[in-house]
Amino acid sequence: MMRFDRFTERAQDAAMRAYEVLQRYGHTQVDTEHLLLALIEQPEGVIPEILERMGVDIEALTRRLDEELKRSPRTQIYGGGVGQVYITPRLKHVIDQSNDEASRLKDDYISTEHLFLAIASERNTPSARILAEVGMTRKRILEAVDEVRGGQKVTTPQAESHYRTLEKFSRDLTQLAREGKLDPVIGRDTEILRLLQVLSRRTKNNPVLIAAQEWARRPSSRAWPSRWPRTTCPRS
């Protein structure tokens, strides 16, 4: 039986979805392939985002897992559904390994990334072979995990939903300026200079800009980020 004491909410959800995958294929033992498919199919999950960042064809990966799961014998139960469900020793080992992965990454909870890393680290198993076929190595996965997390650690059961929050709910104006995607601003030099003076001052606490939503549409809000790529802003 799986224990969810240290699982994040997303990891718990993936474990429950693994049971649903098992029902879909009519199996009686939850194995690594059920969990891997559950991680890949998890809506708004971290693993699909990692796969996309790594350029993996998720549909092709899902088809390979489907083929592998269909090879396992189905169990017909009178009245439909499944009988008593067991966890395979291999899946138990993966869960134990995910705990070790969390410790190595200095995380407080076991997240979906730890489960995924543990599956990819298996040797001579269907899941590990399928992941290797698409070029997924432990090193590449760790790099993608670090990129998705944005330096954050798993310190709460809701950790995965907080990754890269700024990217999800805001726009990087400086990056847009580097890419030449901001409209040019003519004039407003006095306002821009005063804004830069406030942001660059050293004699007071770090300032923060707080304004109404409408301010984001004003030229001033676009003018000062556009100066960073041209190195016309002070670097203090």
Segment among 100-104, 141-145, 190-194, 209-213 with least mean pLDDT: 209-213
Q: How far is CA 144 from CA 52, 55, 79, 207, in A?
A: 10, 11, 45, 33
Query: What token pair was written down for 72?
Result: 């396992």
Adjacent-strand bridge partners of 52: none
Q: What is the pLDDT of residue 78?
A: 45
Q: What is the pLDDT of residues 76-130, one digit of tens each?
A: 544 445 557 788 999 999 999 999 999 999 999 999 999 999 999 998 899 999 9
Output the pLDDT for position 170. Answer: 59
As a whole number, the mean pLDDT across the chain is: 81
| Residue 148 reports pLDDT greater than 50 | yes
For range 21-46, the mean pLDDT: 93
- Write out pLDDT tens, residues 38-55: 999 999 899 999 999 899
Instruction: State residue 213's pLDDT score.
Output: 60
- Name the phi and psi angles at 185, rounded to 5: -115, 125
Nearest Cα to Cα of residue 119 among 93, 157, 139: 93
Interval 169-202: pLDDT, tens: 556 666 666 777 766 666 667 777 777 777 777 6
- Please state, in angstroms and as integers, the Cα–Cα distance from residue 27 to each residue in 64, 69, 74, 77, 206, following that order: 18, 9, 5, 10, 59
In the DSSP assignment, the letter for residue 121 is T
Q: Is 202 helix (H, G, I), strand (E, B) or coil?
A: coil
